[in-house]
Amino acid sequence: MHTKTLIEISLDLQAKTYSSVELTQFFLNRIDQHQQLNSYITVTPELALAQAKAADQRLANGTSDLLTGIPIAQKDIFCTQGVITTCGSKMLANFNAPYNATVVEKFNQAGAVMLGKLNMDEFAMGSSNETSYFGSVKNPWNINTVPGGSSGGSAAAVSARLAVCATGTDTGGSIRQPAALCGITGLKPTYGLVSRYGMIAYASSLDQGGPMTRSAEDAAIMLQTMAGFDEKDSTSVNIPVPDYRAGLNKSLVGLKIGLPKEFFGEGLDENVAATLAAAIAEYRKLGAEIIDISMPNLKLAIPAYYVIAPAECSANLSRFDGVRYGYRCDNPVDLTDLYTRSRGEGFGKEVKRRILMGTYALSTGYYDAYYLKAQKIRRLISEDFKAALATVDVIMGPVTPGTAFGIGEKMDDPIAMYLSDIYTIAINLAGVPAMSIPAGFVAGMPVGLQLIGDYFSEDRLLNIAHQYQQVTDWHNFIPTGFE
């Protein structure tokens, strides 16, 4: 059962080939057998089996949809009523959310089954899933390497078939980068398409939830449920949600693909570049036209991001003060001691680093020099994307400079870690949609191809990804030991 895609399993459930209860128990057993990956923080067998039983009733009554009875897992950044939501941090290690995030509620209404909550970098701050208070997640393709971050638990679980699909969040590449390193499909939607209500904030103008799946068709099914206006989220965009599966089979003849020269220069591993060239050649066979383009401001994305994102995180994380909820230090002598020790003991090293960077950038005398300038650069980057996407239909390039690196390899070098997101960060600054799809292997490790589209063009991106997956098999490969 674990070798099948979401749509295949959905059709099996509707045909009564097996029940959701049987399917759910099968996946719960797999999670128990493969704990070495550390992909789950919390497994919820009682809840999952109860939801599966209810799903079977809906299937019997003919009131189901494509997600009814499907075992999924939620990144532990989405609030779940009655289930601990930790955000990968000691600060929230015992936080029981009093409500469901809108994304969680939508999956519940669709009849999906939640297997549990997935491991992640603390407060989504990291590119390797090594900053989690609950320990590093292992990449199923090589357990000595990282799965990427911050949605590394989601990517590892889907890659190892410990869930049919999973949710992730992407602030600077945190869906696409782990998807690439673990050989799955990951989509970061246009900013505002998916509600952020109940999704614990890192950087509010950059965060966006999205699907992590085996295939583009599965991602279309998940996004259909996740997308849509939410009056509880002031950044939610009120536009009609298209049928994302309806256009998957459109021809790519005449498609214009832009290749930014800034994506294929120094820093990109030559074997990764060769793998991507082969993938792009497949698109040429499908009738696409390849056009070289330039986006000169992309080189400014990393410094701009690491001013804007920490500035927003320093504001968002000020709510964790040891007073209302979350970790509280023992026996504080006064309010200052309560704040200082609760945050000092509750936050990890990387979170503290980013809070300090953000507070500095927003401080008197530095706001204009750093934060305001970074916002101006952000506008220039957005204009680069607008100009490029006025001449091409989609932009393609790498997701990461290389394949998955070793656990611990970059933990003592924050700059090297930050540079692992060099090809993804600009997309978040611009707010456009992008996705990573499996495109091959280098020395046995997965490589992802990044597709970038215009605002609210997710249906077109999914079509472009799906057509590639009809003529390649990279998305069907399973890591050794998890077959």
Return the amino acid letter for 283.
Y
State pLDDT tens for residues 122-181: 999 999 999 999 999 999 999 999 999 999 999 999 999 999 999 999 999 999 999 999
**Does domain 6-254+436-476 correspond to CATH entry 3.30.420.10?**
no
**How long is the chain?**
483
Set 19, 75, 132, 342: catalytic member? 75
Select from 143, 152, 119 the least CA-distant residue to 133. 119
The greatest distance separating any two alpha carbons of the chain, rounded to the nearest whole angstrom, comes to 70
Helices and strands of the chain, counted as H and E runs: 15, 11
DSSP 117-154: EE--SGGG--SSS-S-TT-PPPBTTBTTB---SSSHHH
Gyration radius of the chain's alpha carbons: 21
Examine the residue annotation and report whether 150 is marked as an active-site residue of this protein: yes
Summarize the confidence of residues 388-395 as an average pLDDT.
98
Q: In the structure, what pLDDT confidence band is assigned to residue 420 with cuts at 50, 70 and 90?
A: confident
Q: In the structure, what pLDDT confidence band is assigned to residue 1 with cuts at 50, 70 and 90?
A: confident
Phi and psi, residue 426, nearest 5°: -60, -30
State pLDDT tens for residues 71-114: 999 999 999 999 999 999 999 999 999 999 999 999 999 999 99
* pLDDT reading at 253 higher than 90: yes
* pLDDT reading at 229 higher than 90: yes
Please list the helix, strand and coil fractions of the chain in percent, rounded to the nearest 5, in that order. Answer: 45, 15, 40
Q: Any idea where the domains of the chain sit in the sequence?
A: 6-254+436-476, 299-377
pTM of the model: 0.96
Return the amino acid letter for 257.
I
Q: What HEC string does 6-51 produce? A: HHHHHHHHHCCCCCHHHHHHHHHHHHHHCHHHCCEEEECHHHHHHH
Dist. CA 210–CA 187, nearest whole Å: 6
Computed over every residue of the chain, the mean pLDDT equals 96
Examine the residue annotation and report whether 136 is marked as an active-site residue of this protein: no
Examine the residue annotation and report whether 75 is marked as an active-site residue of this protein: yes
Question: Which residue has 């939640």 as its token pair?
Answer: 114
Dist. CA 32–CA 48, nearest whole Å: 14
